[in-house]
Amino acid sequence: MRAALSLIALAACRSPAAKPPPEAARDADALKSAIDDAAATAVAARASVVLPTFVLGEHTYVEISAWFELPEPEPPELVAWGAGAVARVPVDATSMAAQIQAATAASVPWPSVVGTALPAYQADGRACDATITGLYLLGYGYGDELSDGSDGYDGGASLIAELEGAAGCAPVLITNRSGLVFFVPASPPSASEHAALATAFRAIAKPLGVSDPPTIQLYQRAGSRVAMVTLEVSPTKENGCGAEYDARRAIFHLDATDQPRLASQTRAYFGDAPVIAVFDSDNDGLLEATLGAARFDGGGSGTLSLASYLAFSEGADPEEEQSAAYELAFGFYIGCD
């Protein structure tokens, strides 16, 4: 009898009814596939990216959503990723401030990027690694609550990552391009060079309608010197509210004859934003630059630009308005209409 019962029990264990239903098997396969896809996506970067870093409160950050090929929700849903207190970091002389909150509730697979080492460069061109140490939400406003952008007066929040450079590394940009050539600040131009550059630039700046002297900055690398010549204007609007912005910025090559040769130009306006790095990232002979923070008052609205990446163009139309190739900026309402 015991033998018969054992056979019955064994037959029951082997019966088709004991197998998981086909739907469960398909669900398990789908889950495994999703996990595998997420793991593969977690390290996938966008192709040919150049992103400037920025510093807030002695910490270095980058807009990490512009680096990885990962889904990111719009600001109304993105603010739900934040948790904990919102830190306010002054960035200008106004009562507004950058708002930073830990993105500890970020959706999978975003948390997996923490600990990733990104290829970075210092301003002098030295390559180094910069490791992601945390994910944060970044906003800009008066209070201590991140905006979801629904009020129409600002751009809401952005997803950023804090970076920690390797020993001795102060990363100013991250990029997966190779063979970058950097130009470092050089001594001011001689009197004859300054006069020649100002004369050569005058024709470019003529549409601005002012005779103000341009700003001239020299940069160099082995066997080569270039000048970045800039003139920007921001006259007050006719209604007395805010300003109009226009600019001319040009790159000239300098040689032993002191005769500058125009290489490229742009109309992008950046106000008092400092030049952080000058380089050629794609070996096309046309220089690029990253710039720091600047604030613009457009009247009814304004803009805070925290970091920008500017690409000069050889065939740029000096009468066509241009913008940065990349810019991390926040709009805000001023109230002067």
What separation in angstroms does the CA of 301 have from each of 125, 198, 262, 332? 37, 34, 36, 6
- Structure confidence at residue 153 (pLDDT): 53
Furthest-apart CA atoms within the chain: distance in Å? 113
84-99 pLDDT, tens digit per residue, is 999 999 988 778 889 9
pLDDT band at 26 (very low <50, low <70, confident <90, very high): low
Q: Are 266 and 322 in contact (CB under 8 A)?
A: yes
pLDDT band at 155 (very low <50, low <70, confident <90, very high): low
Residue 105: is its pLDDT beyond 90? yes
Q: In whole angstroms, give the CA distance from residue 161 to residue 147.
A: 19
Q: Which residue has the higher pLDDT, 333 or 275?
A: 275
User: What is the domain partition of the chain in residue ranges?
Assistant: 50-175, 181-333
Give bridge partners of residue 301 from the DSSP assignment: 333
157-212 pLDDT, tens digit per residue, is 899 999 999 888 999 999 999 999 999 999 999 999 999 999 999 988 888 888 89
pLDDT band at 43 (very low <50, low <70, confident <90, very high): low
- Structure confidence at residue 22 (pLDDT): 56
Q: In whole angstroms, give the CA distance from residue 131 to residue 60.
A: 11
pLDDT band at 313 (very low <50, low <70, confident <90, very high): confident
Q: In whole angstroms, give the CA distance from residue 175 to residue 50.
A: 5
Percent of the chain topping pLDDT 70 = 80
- Structure confidence at residue 2 (pLDDT): 35
pLDDT band at 308 (very low <50, low <70, confident <90, very high): very high
> 3-class secondary structure for 190-219?
CHHHHHHHHHHHHHHHHHHCCCCCCEEEEE
208-249 pLDDT, tens digit per residue, is 888 899 999 999 998 899 999 999 988 888 877 888 888 899
Q: Name the residue type at position 142.
A: Y
- Structure confidence at residue 95 (pLDDT): 80
- Structure confidence at residue 118 (pLDDT): 96
Tokens of 199: 């004369």
Q: Are 270 and 247 in contact (CB under 8 A)?
A: yes
3-state secondary structure of 31: helix
pLDDT band at 140 (very low <50, low <70, confident <90, very high): confident
- Structure confidence at residue 7 (pLDDT): 28
The structure's pTM equals: 0.82
Q: Which residue has the higher pLDDT, 303 or 24?
A: 303
- Structure confidence at residue 149 (pLDDT): 63
Residue 15: is its pLDDT beyond 70? no
The closest alpha carbon to 328, from 60, 15, 64, belongs to: 64
Q: In whole angstroms, give the CA distance from residue 216 to residue 225.
A: 13
Average pLDDT for the chain:
82
